[in-house]
Copies of this chain bind each other. A is one copy, B any other.
Amino acid sequence: MRIGELARRTGVSERSLRYYEEQGLLRPDRTPGGHRDYPESAVDRVIRIQELFAAGLHSAKIAQLLPCMRDADGGPSEIATPRLVAELAAERERIDRMIADLRRSRDVLDEVIDTASEGRATVLRPRGAA
């Protein structure tokens, strides 16, 4: 399929798809005229790329990681090197820490939201200075 359809089906802009290719994350064929021609599997791949970006991985790391992932087509086409595995383990721990941080921040937001709810009740039923 061409870039327009892939953009529509993934929700990712054409600009970003070209950027992904520039970063080595996608390698579409080209029509004789030079237009990009993506296989069906590109849809899943783009979605996975987006997830990894959301996890804070940089394009360079994703580029190393992608060939080691189980593709929709079958098994991984490459096996991660020990060095890459170490880096991924580090990313894994970073993600764990990030999840913990996010949980704390979420709790903070909950506290403020709760306090505001109580405050509103207090406004309706004043109880003296606090």
Given the interface pairs A55-B102, A95-B102, A99-B99, the reply to whether A68 lies near B112 with Cβ below 8 Å is: yes
Of all chain B residues, the one with the shortest Cβ separation from A101 is B54
Determine if A70 is an interface residue (Cβ-Cβ < 8 Å). Answer: yes
- When the two chains form their complex, are residues B79 and A115 in contact, meaning their CB atoms are under 8 A apart? yes
Determine if A1 is an interface residue (Cβ-Cβ < 8 Å). Answer: no
Distance of A51 Cα from B105 Cα, bound (Å)? 6
State which size class the interface on A falls in.
Answer: 35 or more
Report B-chain residues with C-beta under 8 Å of the C-beta of A110: 92
Copies in the complex: 2
**Chain A at the B interface: mostly helix, strand, loop or mixed?**
helix
Report B-chain residues with C-beta under 8 Å of the C-beta of A29: none
Distance of A81 Cα from B79 Cα, bound (Å)? 53
Residues of A within 8 A of B (CB): 48, 51-52, 54-55, 57, 65, 68-70, 75-76, 79-82, 84-85, 88-89, 91-93, 95-96, 98-99, 101-106, 108-113, 115-117, 119-120, 123, 125-126, 128, 130
